[in-house]
């Protein structure tokens, strides 16, 4: 079985393990784009996840205007459609929050984190195939949690008891990526992702070096001060890039 098919098998196992989990107030809605945006996610994995990688980047979970719309990690629509060349029909989560509609590739909002991350990669690698020859990006968890107000709720804000089955499923999913892609360097996009990488790398016996880059979220004052320059410097310090 090809690497991409094995990754998609791991995706199906993750979806199955997460399906049916319940979360208490203030969480009112939970989206899983690996289900309703499966077609575009499968294109991403099939096109770019079919070879071993030198570098694996790990994000936390989808943003409402990125992967939640496209099924691709940090899935800023312009980057996914125009740089990666991926577009596919996207379904709907159920129930759908009226303030967080899923419009797929017709969504006109921008995912700032994704715009920054993929923008940095596209600037260095004008052809997506050149980036993905050695690099790959995956999210630790595919779930989007929202409160009744539509406010996003990140995994680190959920009760430990609710996160326990999520963590078990997502650790196994990440472990499969480490096993199949065999990266030399694993880079957490932010501290949460770095901690997940360190934990799973240790438990699976991966020899990959672990590091992190600043998360590109606009909620971070540091990220709003030349995020691209900071991240590029951090990647050079990690030995991921030269020059």
In a domain, 242, yes or no: no
Flag whether 80 is in a domain: yes
Would you say residue 98 lies in a domain?
A: yes
pLDDT score recorded for residue 24:
96
Q: Domain for residue 50, yes or no?
A: yes
Q: Is the peptide bond before 193 cis (omega within 30 degrees of 0)?
A: no
Question: Which residues span the domain enclosing 8?
Answer: 3-237
List per-residue pLDDT tens for the chain, 243 residues long: 899 999 999 999 999 999 999 999 999 999 999 999 999 999 999 999 999 999 999 999 999 999 999 999 999 999 999 999 999 999 999 999 999 999 999 999 999 999 999 999 999 999 999 999 999 999 999 999 999 999 999 998 999 999 999 999 999 999 999 999 999 999 999 999 999 999 999 999 999 999 999 999 999 999 999 999 999 999 999 999 997
205 in a structural domain:
yes
Look at residue 22 in the predicted model and tell me its pLDDT.
95
Does some domain include residue 155? yes
| Alpha carbon distance, N-terminus to C-terminus of the chain | 37
Q: What is the CATH number of the domain that holds 175?
A: 3.40.470.10
Distance CA 42, CA 82 (A): 17
User: What is the spatial distance between Cα 87 and Cα 105, in angstroms, rounded to a whole number?
Assistant: 7
Residue 144: strand, helix, or coil: strand
> Considering the domain boundaries, does residue 243 fall inside one?
no
* Residue 45 covered by a domain: yes
pLDDT of amino acid 243: 73
> From CA 166, how far away is CA 153, in angstroms rounded?
14
User: How many structural domains compose the chain?
Assistant: 1
- What kind and span of H or E run contains 211? strand 209-213
């Amino acid at each position: 079985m090809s690497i991409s098919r094995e990754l998609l098998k791991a995706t199906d196992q993750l979806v199955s393990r997460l399906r049916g989990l319940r979360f208490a107030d203030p969480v009112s809605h939970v989206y899983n784009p690996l289900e309703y945006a499966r077609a575009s996610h499968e294109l991403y994995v099939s096109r770019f996840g079919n070879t071993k990688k030198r570098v694996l980047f790990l994000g936390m979970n989808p943003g409402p205007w990125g992967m939640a719309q496209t099924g691709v990690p940090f899935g800023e629509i312009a980057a996914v459609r125009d740089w990666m060349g991926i577009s596919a029909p996207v379904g709907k989560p159920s129930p759908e929050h009226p303030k967080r509609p899923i419009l797929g590739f017709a969504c006109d909002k921008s995912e700032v984190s994704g715009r920054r991350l993929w923008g940095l990669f596209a600037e260095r690698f004008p052809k997506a195939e050149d980036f993905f020859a050695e690099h790959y990006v995956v999210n630790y968890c595919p779930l989007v949690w929202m409160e009744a107000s539509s406010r996003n709720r990140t995994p680190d804000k959920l009760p430990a008891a609710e996160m326990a089955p999520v963590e078990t499923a997502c650790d196994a999913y990440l472990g499969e990526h480490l096993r199949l892609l065999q990266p030399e360097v694993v880079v957490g996009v932010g501290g949460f992702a770095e901690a997940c990488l360190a934990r799973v790398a240790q438990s699976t016996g991966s020899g990959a070096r672990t590091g992190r880059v600043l998360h590109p979220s606009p909620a971070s004052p540091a990220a709003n001060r030349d995020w691209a320059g900071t991240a590029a410097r951090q990647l050079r310090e990690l030995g991921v890039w030269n020059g």
